[in-house]
Amino acid sequence: MNKNVLVIGSGGREHAIVYQLSRSAQVEHIYCAPGNAGIAQLAECVAIKDTEVAQLISFAQTHKIDLCVVGPEAALAAGVADAFREAGIPVFGHSKAATQIEASKEFAKELMAKYNVPTAAYRSFADYEEAMQYVRSRNTYPTVLKYDGLAAGKGVVIAQDEPEAEQALRDMLVGEAFGKGRVVIEDYLEGPEFSFMAFVHHHKVYPMPLSQDHKRVFDGDKGPNTGGMGAYTPLPFISKEEEEWAQEHILQAVADAMVKEGKPLTGVLYGGLMKTKDGIKVIEFNARFGDPETEVVLPLMESDAYTVFHAIATGEELESIKWRNQATVGVVMASCGYPGAYQKGIEITGTEDFDGLILHMGTAVKDGRLVTNGGRVLMCIAHGTDVRQAQEKVYRELEKIHCSNLFYRKDIAHWAL
Ligand code: AMP
Ligand code: GLY
């Protein structure tokens, strides 16, 4: 009881974490650094950026924080979790070394090769000429080119022909756009993609319900990639056997491998997986909760969130995590123009009439009114006994929200129906 929690981050994912912690009887006070307008309804927002390590530690010490939960990968990659652990404050989030599973594509690929985790065959290069020579010698398209580092989701190019591959490799290895680095070139895989997240403390792996993101901006999966336009759970196209197989051969295998490599996980392992004709394979790993998948998955957690996050942070005994057996569909309302340029500061009304859960991704309050403050603005969520019912409800309720500069996809969860 009377626990103080600090959540680090400012998006819909952190709103979901704060929302879930706010339902725990053990939690007295939640702080969020830096938070957003939606989070501010449940937590006290603190004006510290997610990578300002020294300020975060000093805040936690003066406010007697019992548990810190780190959301964004940038904060993990900046060593926020290491600093909390050194200061003796329980922290949910991987060390900087373990965050390599997301931050370095090459590290992740080498780990999977070493421990027989299924993924696309690959080679990695630092030199543009050598990379181009390899692409020419393979002469197979599409071919997948991945910049080796955190590139905010922009580091992957699926080249359809040689000129496209050449341009992408120039950008990644010769130009200034990414900084000097390496490129992983891998085989192109086909099949439906889905997200499998788990809470992990060292060898212990607790799976979350499967979910699916919608990365393209327009209906029918058209247009450029985004951070995700909506998500839903559960997935009808993955059987229980396939799920168990992926848990054992992918998530558990990687958790064990990371311990062996001296980089144990203490947070979320996110598998971006694909069901190919040759079985389930890994497209990527993230070292954090997925966004917007977390917004549909986490509200289904029945177990006490403080107990779960604290046990993952410290390794204390946790029997299992219980989940409500319900379908959830979440639709992102994004600013017109996103993922390109967009305006901010446009008023949003009607959110209080929405029957369901609204998690804020990019909002602010200006003169007492809720306004847009990002590309992805709101994640609107409804539950149902099945995906269709949840989908019908969320789209019905969305009509109550008004803003002259927001749009949303009309077909979230279409893969399930
Ligand atoms: P990543 O950042 O690695 O998740 O890649 C972004 C997106 O590119 C993925 O969600 C896939 O849609 C696509 N992609 C990545 N790797 C491959 C691959 N080997 N084959 C096919 N598509 C891929
Ligand atoms: N929804 C994809 C991600 O969080 O990376």
Render pLDDT for 5-16 as a digit per residue (tens, 0 to 9): 999 999 999 999
CA angle 297, 362, 176 (to 5 degrees): 100
Q: Which of 412, 192, 195 is nearest to 288 (CA)?
A: 195
Q: What does the H/E/C string look like for 191-247?
A: CCEEEEEEEEECCEEEECCCEEECCEEECCCEEEECCCCEEEECCCCCCHHHHHHHH
Gap between the terminal Cα atoms of the chain: 43
Ligand 1 near 144 CB (within 6 A): yes
Instruction: Name every protein residue with a CB atom under 6 angstroms from any ligand 2 atom.
Output: 213, 228, 286, 290-291, 293
CATH fold group of domain 3-95:
Rossmann fold (3.40.50)
3-class DSSP assignment, residue 265: coil
% the chain with pLDDT above 70 = 97
pLDDT at 351: 97
Spell out the CATH class of 127-181.
Answer: alpha beta
Answer yes or no: is pLDDT of 94 > 70. yes
Q: Ligand 1 centroid to 186 CA: how many Å?
A: 10
Whether 49 has a pLDDT exceeding 70, the answer reads yes
Ligand closest in space to the Cα of 295: 2
Tokens 């500069």 -> residue: 405
DSSP class of residue 180 equals S
Q: What is the pTM of this model?
A: 0.95
Domain 327-416 has CATH 1.10.3720.10: no
- Asked if residue 184 has its Cβ within 6 Å of ligand 1, the reply is no
Identify the bridge partners of residue 358 per DSSP, sorted by sequence position: 380
pLDDT tens figures, 321-351: 999 999 999 999 999 999 999 999 999 999 9
Asked if residue 159 has its Cβ within 6 Å of ligand 1, the reply is no
CATH topology of domain 193-314: D-amino Acid Aminotransferase; Chain A, domain 1 (3.30.470)
What's residue 154's pLDDT?
60
* 158 Cα–ligand 1 center, Å: 8
Distance 270 CA to ligand 1 centre (A): 14
| Ligand 2 atom 4 nearest Cα | 290
Q: Which ligand is nearest to the CA of 229?
A: 2
Please report the pLDDT score of residue 151 as a whole number.
57
Beta-bridge partner residues of 273 = 194, 282
Residue 150, pLDDT > 70, answer no
Q: Whose CA is nearest to atom 3 of ligand 2?
A: 290
Question: Minimal CA–CA distance to 12: which of 51, 39, 48?
Answer: 39
pLDDT at 381: 98
Confidence of residue 390 (pLDDT cuts 50, 70, 90): very high
pLDDT digits (tens, 9 = 90+) for 280-334: 999 999 999 999 999 999 999 999 999 999 999 999 999 999 999 999 999 999 9
Name which residue sits closest to atom 5 of ligand 2, judged by CA: 290
Looking at residue 212, its pLDDT comes to: 98
For 164-213, write each residue's pLDDT tens digit.
999 999 988 887 666 667 899 999 999 999 999 999 999 999 999 999 99
Domain ranges for the chain, please list them: 3-95, 127-181, 193-314, 327-416
Residue 381 CA to residue 348 CA, distance in Å, equals 17
On the question of a cis peptide bond just before residue 339, with omega within 30 degrees of 0, the verdict is yes
- Give pLDDT, residue 179: 65
Q: Which residue has the tokens 């980089």?
A: 263
Q: How far is the CA of 320 from the centre of ligand 2 (A)?
A: 25
pLDDT confidence bin for 155, thresholds 50/70/90: confident
What's the pLDDT band for 105 if we cut at 50, 70, 90?
Answer: confident
DSSP output for 318-386: -----B---EEEEEEEEETTTTS------B-B-GGG-SSEEEESSEEEETTEEEE-SSEEEEEEEEESS
Question: In the predicted model, what is the mean pLDDT of the chain?
Answer: 96
- pLDDT score, position 175: 75
